[in-house]
Structure 1
Amino acid sequence: ENHPIVKEYRSQIKLLEFNADTPTSLFECGVVQWLWMENYFGETKDQFNSVHDKLIETWKMLKPYLKGQTLHFSCVRESLEDLTNIEYIRDCAIQAGINTKLIYVDEIGWNNVNFVDLEEEPITDIFKLYPWEWMMNELFAYNIKNDEINANWIEPAWKMILANKAILAILWELYPNHPLLLETYLDSPKEMKNYVKKPLLSREGANVEVVKNGEISEKTSGEYGEEGFVYQALADLHHEKSGYSIIGSWIIGQEACGITFRESDQFITTDKSRFVPHIIE
């Protein structure tokens, strides 16, 4: 009862960021908040959420394009959050009739011809919850161009372009003053006095600085920043007594099919921000 029911939003919606490569919090959106609604409201309310059905439908659509008989799913061994999300996506693929196999990133092998799993089975198709820029900094990734099978990597490597926050500055350059965009630049804030400084590759709100009237009003720590920054005009976030909130929109099969609300006591949304389920009144 402490969370607001958003009945209307008068301000112009703005694109803050675009995460193209690492689908964490998908399980919370597709399963947890849907079960919350069913438990509390039965069939009396609705939710903008067809994530589960859309995942299964899209895997069915992709199945004929797979190169082999097994679709591998991979993430890092140390993260329960990543494992939960990758297992959920894998479960949807199983429901779509696809034969799957879980393998941790550190278990992926190379036999001088192609990638293999622990049973020496060739990896022909693989969904990885592991950022491309991490892979590009490892010797392991050097073999991708030598792979004779030329395995299907999902998400594909071109997602690196969209997952880099430099795309926000490029969008502003291509479409200046577009109502859905925030003024954004590389290298410097130009004439802006109120802006947010973000590393090009940071996740979960790490290494972000909020500047108001030329002074830093809030900042977070982390391991990013060496790759450079973008400077984005300060957005007027929705604010209630319970905190600041932002909307996340999930796109599956090129269609928007679910939304999530993240709520924070502070202005910057981080991995500690609350996940707030929603209903449509």
Structure 2
Amino acid sequence: MKSFKISVPASSANIGPGFDSMGLAVNLYLTLEVTESEEWEFYSHSSPSNRTNYKEHFIYKIAKQTAERHHKQLTPCKVVETSDIPLARGLGSSASAIIAGIELANQVCDLSLTSEAKLRYGTEIEGHPDNIAPALYGGLVISIVTEDEIDWIQMPTLDVDVILYIPNVELKTDEARNVLPDSYSRNDATSASGISNIVVASLLSGNYKLAGKMMERDIFHEPYRANLIPNFNKIRNESKKYGVYGTVISGAGPTMLSFAPKGSGQSVVEQMQDLLGNYQVKLLEMDVQGLTVK
């Protein structure tokens, strides 16, 4: 087995009203450096002192599950894991780890998995494809499970700057889901789906001003989650003063995400970092490659 390196991007799901169906890959990465070994070794953040119990490691469990699905056994490897993706911040850390585990098994066991199989396996584990699809394919992806099939489409690259506001607190996805209603009225569902349609159409046509406006009018989840997100109104209102198109919750939160005119992002970051001293305010780019193996 040759040494190889797996890289999987972070992702931001929903983009406002694209609830559980829209996700954007961004240039923060989970990376695995894999070499053959006489026994399994997992190290986190490149530190020999951070050797972990491989049997309890989430990525190993996914790899083992994937291998067993094809009646194969994993060859022992040394795996050094590094990650820019903060945990429990609404940036798809679990989806990135799932894709990394599937690809680890794919490489070690020579499974020759298609991208469609990886998407299906990942969605079965994660429960929905909104983070899995962009982590796998890159870019802005709209995906949905319909009649036991996963339909998806990759949108054209957006000509915007992407800004993330990452607080130093975690928010578990289960907590963010528990505040959502069990059902919606027909009027709310109709309005919410219409808003989502306009967001997609405006992004496709390059009308980012309209897209930003409609991103902030979600009915499906943001009104219910806003109180769980530190500085929700402050970030949305203040960022608009510096010219952003729109600001939404990233995934289930607590991170928030803005689209801004191309070239203006660094100025927005500097202004907002001064305002949000204990946050990481980052200017990022869309990742357009998704999963890579070198």
Give 1 or 2 for the bigger CA radius of gyration. Answer: 1
TM value normalised by structure 2: 0.29
TM value normalised by structure 1: 0.30
